Amino acid sequence: MTPHDYARQHAEEFRAQLLDFLRIPSVSTDEAYKPEVRRAAEWLAAEMQRIGITTELIDMPGRHPLVYGEWMGAGENARTVLIYGHYDVQPAKKADGWDTEPFEPVEKDGFIWARGATDDKGQVYIHVKAVEAVLKAEGTLPVNVKFIIEGEEESGGQHIAAYVPQHVDKLKADVCVVSDGSMSRVEQPVIVNALRGGIGLEITIHGPSADVHSGMYGGTLHNPNQALAEIIAKLHNPDGSVAVPGFYEDVRVLTPQERAEIAAVPWTDDEWRSETGAQIPWGEPDYTLSERVGARPTLEITGMAGGYYERGFKNIVPSKAWAKISCRLVPDQKPHKILHQVVEYIKQITPPTVRLELAYREGGGIEATLINTNNPMMQAAINAYEKGWGGTPVFKREGGGIPIVGAFQNVLGLPVLLMGFGLNTDGLHGPNEHFSIDMFHRGINTIIVFLNEVAQI
Ligand code: BES
Ligand code: MN
Ligand code: MN
């Protein structure tokens, strides 16, 4: 029996297990879910241990555990693959617009529907099941494998960021593979060659010390909602570019060759429309949609609140208004510098009629990463997609971020392969997140081939 046979024969069982994994609400950003995050780590560790991977939970006070596992039976002279992923998920509740309960996974219409199905539990599980299939079918693996699966990718990742530089020896490998991304069509697999970085901050605008009667005081107070709206309106120029002085200072100018590479993976307005459900694209007019996402920085208002938003009306001038702002950064932009520029600009445009309060993590923020594609391991990834997936991959610059990937490349010095198995339309971070059953099984086949290909390089 080949590993592919084993995976085929156990397909139903593999998916039933994945559904169990998805039932655990490992929401890392919300303290209330801390025990559930741990339960997910323990579940994964037990599953890895069961198939023959030596596994441990690595704790750090106040943080979520890392799941570390290794199978070193291929011997000292064999190659070692470091597999990274995350078992934590974004928050979700049915009221956000889900058709089913986010943590009660269902299989329907060829997809698995649940929070974390594609980001990233389903893709992590592909690696676990590929290793299981090879071990069960052949009693051995062609390479050594190390797993490092974190529980706070969606919420800062402080634990792994501290752990990696201190455990360079333990994490020693020949290549690092990450499956935490997506493609636009199943026939056209994608290897990601750039990730964006980011910063975040929260602003609070204070007006009267408590909500006051809008008849008694309206017209004499600068309403915090209005002041916030005025500030936010000044963060972009009419053409969609960011108005913060100096924001683009360090941004690399795309070469004609880079622009041609980006254009080789087309993304039409129609595709954009059907993926987003929005009306007309917006943003910097001199850049294509793919360039805006892959190679340009952004400033996004990710949340706003203030005043009364329950049923009916309340005649008040509210005391406060809030907004959350996040920037996506591209190579050479320094997170601390951008944070400082944004903060200074917001201070400068805040009118004297209100008080500004800012919250951000000093030293927080993530640099963008350009992936080095010019190494022999990349060929293993390409071959794996061709033989295991059924398509030749193209390179694509991704708009999202995976914070620790930069350290794998720069601190561990490893070639990194961003081999995502999801679809852009999987609804990650939104309601009704789902993962294609077909792509789950193709992913397993691809990783089975990949392990063999690495052994031959
Ligand atoms: N898997 C995503 C990143 C991603 C999204 C890669 C789409 C490829 C395609 C990851 O889990 C994620 O959401 N990252 C965060 C990082 C942030 C919390 C620092 C992001 O991009 O917002
Ligand atoms: Mn992810
Ligand atoms: Mn995510």
Query: What pLDDT, in 10s, does the model give residues 35-54?
Result: 999 999 999 999 999 999 99
- Decide if pLDDT at 266 tops 90: no
> Over the stretch 185-241, which tens digit does the pLDDT of each residue have?
999 999 999 999 999 999 999 999 999 999 999 999 999 999 999 999 999 999 999
What are the DSSP calls for 161-194, one per residue? HHHHHHTTTTT--SEEEE---EESSTTS-EEEEE
Select from 402, 405, 435 the residue to mutate for testing ligand 1; criterion: most ligand atoms less than 8 Å from CB. Answer: 402
- Helix and strand counts by DSSP (H, E) for the chain: 14, 20
CA of 138 to the centre of ligand 3 (A): 34
Ligand 3 mean position, distance from CA 26 (Å): 12
Handedness of CA 280, 281, 287, 291 (dihedral sign): negative
Q: How far is the CA of 213 from the centre of ligand 2 (A)?
A: 46
Give the position of tokens 């969606």. 154
Q: What angle do CA 39, 44, 45 make, to 5 degrees?
A: 95
Identify whether the C-beta of residue 315 lies closer than 8 Å to the C-beta of residue 215: yes
Residue partners of 76: CB distance under 8 A and separation at least 6 = none
Q: How confident is the model at residue 290 (pLDDT cuts 50, 70, 90)?
A: very high
Whether pLDDT at 27 is above 90: yes
**Which residue ranges have their beta carbon within 6 Å of ligand 1?**
119-120, 153-154, 180-182, 198, 366, 398, 400-403, 420
What does pTM read for this prediction?
0.94
What are φ and ψ of residue 412, in 5° steps?
-85, -15
Q: Distance from the CA of 72 to the center of ligand 1, in angstroms? A: 30
Please name which ligand lies nearest the alpha carbon of 294.
1
pLDDT of residue 379: 98
Average pLDDT of the chain is: 97
Distance between CA 310 and CA 314 in Å, rounded?
A: 9
* pLDDT exceeds 90 at position 363: no
The CA distance from 445 to 372, in Å, is 25
| Res 397 pLDDT > 90 | yes
The whole-number pLDDT of residue 90 equals: 98
Nearest-ligand number for the alpha carbon of 122: 2
Ligand 1, atom 9, lies closest to the CA of 181
Residue 345: predicted pLDDT: 98
In the structure, what pLDDT confidence band is assigned to residue 301 with cuts at 50, 70 and 90? very high
Mean pLDDT of all residues in 354-377: 94
Q: How far is the CA of 400 from the centre of ligand 1 (A)?
A: 5
pLDDT tier at 309, thresholds 50, 70, 90: very high
* Residue 382 to residue 177: CA distance in whole angstroms: 13
User: Is the separation of the CB atoms in 20 and 112 below 8 Å?
Assistant: no
Distance (angstroms) between ligand 3 centre and the Cα of 120 equals 7
User: pLDDT at position 250, please?
Assistant: 98
Q: What is the pLDDT of residue 102?
A: 98
Ligand nearest to the CA of 193: 1
Q: What is the mean pLDDT of residues 320-334?
A: 98
| Ligand 1 atom having least distance to the Cα of 198 | 19
pLDDT(362) > 90 = no
Neighbours of 276 (CB within 10 A): 10
Residue 449 φ/ψ region, left for φ over 0, alpha for ψ in the -120 to 50 degree band, beta for the rest: alpha
Q: Look at 213 and 363; give whichever has higher pLDDT.
A: 213
The pLDDT of residue 170 is 98
Asked if 416 and 176 count as a contact pair (C-beta separation under 8 A), the reply is yes
Q: For residue 449, give the nearest of 140, 3, 1, 34 by alpha carbon.
A: 3
Q: Mutation test of ligand 1: which of 121, 159, 180 has the most ligand atoms closer than 8 Å to its C-beta?
A: 180
Tokens of 231: 């500030």
